[in-house]
Amino acid sequence: LDRWPFFSFAIPLKLINATLRTMGAPLLLNSPISGSLILVALILDAPLTTCWGLAGLALSIIMALVLKQPQHIVTSGQVTQHGLLLGLLMGRALLHNTEHSLITTGITLALTAPLSVVAGNAMTTWLSQTNLPALTLSYILLGACVCLGLDYPDLPTSTSGILVNSSSVPNLQWSQVIEGTVRGAGQVYGCPTFASSCLILAAILLFSPTMFLQACLGTLVGSLCVLMQSNDLHRVYRGDYGRHSLLTALSLGGFFFVLNFYSCLVALAGAVMSAFIFQVMLKINMPVLTVPHVVATLVLLHTRMRGGLIKRIDLVYLTF
């Protein structure tokens, strides 16, 4: 009974707790309250896609239990979030084009979600050898396989109807830029409606005001950085550019580093770098997934300064 702690009277409660906490895991929010807000936001935006995500998550939790992962890791969603993200990715793909049959998608999810748990476990062990978090590397590896090998689209095509009028009005509208900045938060889960994005931002605010400020700063910097360089206004309004900068700034500024002037500077650098990397991946037509966030974060987490002006929080003290 001790070895297998999920077989107790509290199993349903524990499963709900694990599910809600995993909802926040891609944003590093380890809290069931934030998780439920995010779940509401997802259901509001696209109920069917959310079902696919939850199915992926359920498969991942089962695999994690089969592999006898420690309870705190299953609960925090560190290795099961990849299944959730893969489910959301396939659900979104299924919604937008009818090329893939329901059965093929189901089989693909049933194969990749458990696989993402094994790969997530392996990558966490690998990177923790040098005190690095694995973030969503496992999702990137399997998501890229699914996107490239089986032709599931990663990003919705540009003609998604939300902002058709902006093509006829090519001059910059600042209100839409601000709106796009907010939408960046929703884009992390692929739901770019304004209401859902606000709910997700509220979830971050509830978890930690510091991380909220860093997230806002990051997504704003990402959008501005692009405005100065190109005129891809569609994507700025839709929050595509803000997404990766938000994730990077949030991780670097408020989570893995102790907050001070210098870590804030590194978070800004990370936001700019994410925007650059995203631009490249769009140009060379690769599936983006969370690559800009992961690359920028893993590289800049190594920043060290004389006299310890930048302090890393050791991974063993963090639960995410």
304 binds a copy of itself (CB under 8 A): yes
Do residues 5 and 70 touch, judged by C-beta distance below 8 A? no
- Specify the stretch interacting with a copy of itself by CB under 8 A; choose among 4-12, 87-95, 184-192, 228-236: 228-236
Minimum CB separation of residue 296 from a copy of itself in Å reads: 9
C-alpha torsion 136→142→147→151, nearest 10: -160
Q: Is 172 in the site for a copy of itself (CB under 8 A)?
A: no
C-alpha of 107 from chain center: 24
Rounded Cα distance, 106 and 46, in Å: 18
Residue 318 binding a copy of itself, by CB under 8 A: no
Binds a copy of itself (CB under 8 A): choice among 16, 305, 313, 318: 305
Q: Is 258 in the site for a copy of itself (CB under 8 A)?
A: no
- Tell whether residue 262 is a contact of a copy of itself (CB under 8 A): yes
Does 186 contact a copy of itself by CB under 8 A?
A: no
Smallest gap, in angstroms, from Cβ of residue 43 to a copy of itself?
Answer: 30
307 binds a copy of itself (CB under 8 A): yes
Assess contact for 211 and 250: CB atoms under 8 A: yes
Determine which residue in the list 43, 65, 141, 202 makes contact with a copy of itself, applying CB under 8 A.
141
CA distances (Å), 223 to each of 14, 118, 153, 226, 239, in order?
39, 36, 23, 5, 8
Name residue 92's amino acid. R
Q: Find the helix packing angle between 102-128 and 47-66, rounded to 10°.
A: 50
Report 117-136 residues binding a copy of itself (CB under 8 A): 118-119, 121-123, 125-126, 129-130
Provide the minimum distance between the beta carbon of 130 and a copy of itself in the complex, in angstroms, as a whole number. Answer: 7
Which of 32, 53, 91, 114 is in the footprint of a copy of itself by CB under 8 A? Answer: 114
Q: Which stretch binds a copy of itself (CB under 8 A): 7-15, 45-53, 172-180, 222-230?
A: 222-230
**319: closest CA among 256, 232, 228, 238?**
256
**In terms of DSSP H, where are the helices of the chain?**
11-24, 32-45, 47-66, 71-76, 81-96, 102-128, 137-150, 174-187, 194-207, 209-227, 233-238, 240-249, 261-283, 291-300
175 is a contact residue toward a copy of itself (CB under 8 A): no
- The single residue among 88, 89, 115, 220 that binds a copy of itself, judged by CB under 8 A, is 115
Could you give phi then psi for residue 102, rounded to 5 degrees?
A: -60, -40
The alpha-carbon radius of gyration of the chain (Å, integer) is 19
- Residue 257 — φ and ψ, nearest 5°? -110, 150
- What end-to-end distance do the CA atoms of the chain give, in Å? 26
Residues 275-294 that bind a copy of itself (CB under 8 A): 276-277, 279-280, 282-284
Which residue in the set 225, 233, 288, 294 belongs to the binding site for a copy of itself (CB under 8 A)?
225
Q: Is residue 111 involved in binding a copy of itself (CB under 8 A)? A: yes
User: Residue numbers of the site for a copy of itself (CB under 8 A)?
Assistant: 66-70, 104, 107-108, 111-112, 114-115, 118-119, 121-123, 125-126, 129-130, 141-142, 144-146, 148-151, 225, 228-230, 262, 265-266, 269, 272-273, 276-277, 279-280, 282-284, 299-307, 309
